[in-house]
Amino acid sequence: MQFYKWTAFSYTPWVILPVVLGVVSTMLMYDEHQNDMLKQLWIIPVSRAGYFFSKFTIVLFYSICFMLLTAAASVFFGTLPGYITVEWGSIVYLLRKCVEIAILTAFSVLPLLTVAASGKSYIFPVCVTLVYTFLGFILLMVNMYLHPLSSMTAIVMRDIPGVVLTQKLNIPAAFICIAIWCTGSALFAVSSLGKRK
């Protein structure tokens, strides 16, 4: 159990996954922007919201795949040297937790997709990704319910055994925080895609 925690729950969800997803978001938005394809898409017509959410679906899918691979890898490398015996219960728990993290993180990085959607540049969204992830980390200590990533942490932490928390968890507040950020950024993204010159 301790081992899984170390592998799957250590840096992967809080740092690596958001950064990876931020970069994926940027890349997803890059092609159409860079090749000036949007004007052709809008007159098909493709709806702005449909376009944005199809991109988000890919991010979500990618996130789940990434976390499942992480889970598989930690089980594999855990059993290989015979450190631990495989217990079904813990594997199922691990998978469930990984999928949970994957979905929540995908939603938490929706603002990054918005940033990528509203500009042509490539460097800017990547920088924002780093700052955003870092801020999530810092705000974790201050107030968990300001930043989607720290809210996500709060939700995930609620039932990991052996984690001692300094703050009392407020799960609804965390969900509300994520929901507000997601709605806000989705609206902003759709409107900024709409008023393209």
Partner 1 sequence: MSKYVIETKQLTKNYGEQTAVNAVNIHVEKGRIYGLLGRNGAGKTTIMKMILGLTPVTSGEVDVFGQNIKGREKRVYPRIGAIIETPGFYPNLTGTENLEIFAKLRGTAAPNAVKNALGIVGLPYRDKKLFSKYSLGMKQRLGIANAILHDPELLILDEPTNGLDPIGIAEVRGFIKALSTERGKTILISSHILSEIALLADDIGIIDHGVLLEENSMEVLEEKNSKYILLQVSDIPKTSLVLERQFGVTDYSVQDDHFLRIYNTSLDMAAVNKALVVQDVAVISSQLCNDTLEDYFKKITGGEGIA
Q: Side chain identity at 187, as an amino acid letter?
A: L
User: Is there binding between residue 42 and partner 1 (CB under 8 A)?
Assistant: yes
Which of 10, 40, 143, 167 is close enough to bind partner 1 by CB under 8 A? 40
**Nearest distance in Å: CB 63, partner 1:** 23
Stretch that binds partner 1, among 31-39, 59-67, 92-100, 155-163 (CB under 8 A): 31-39
**Nearest distance in Å: CB 110, partner 1:** 23
- Of 32 and 100, nearer to partner 1 (C-beta) is 32
User: Is there binding between residue 27 and partner 1 (CB under 8 A)?
Assistant: no
**Nearest distance in Å: CB 174, partner 1:** 37
Which of 31, 89, 161, 162 is close enough to bind partner 1 by CB under 8 A? 31
User: Is there binding between residue 46 and partner 1 (CB under 8 A)?
Assistant: yes
User: Is there binding between residue 191 and partner 1 (CB under 8 A)?
Assistant: no
Stretch that binds partner 1, among 11-19, 35-43, 101-109, 161-169 (CB under 8 A): 35-43
**Nearest distance in Å: CB 103, partner 1:** 27
Which of 15, 41, 49, 95 is close enough to bind partner 1 by CB under 8 A? 41
The CA-atom distances, in angstroms, between 28 and each of 8, 55, 65, 100, 128 are 26, 7, 16, 23, 16
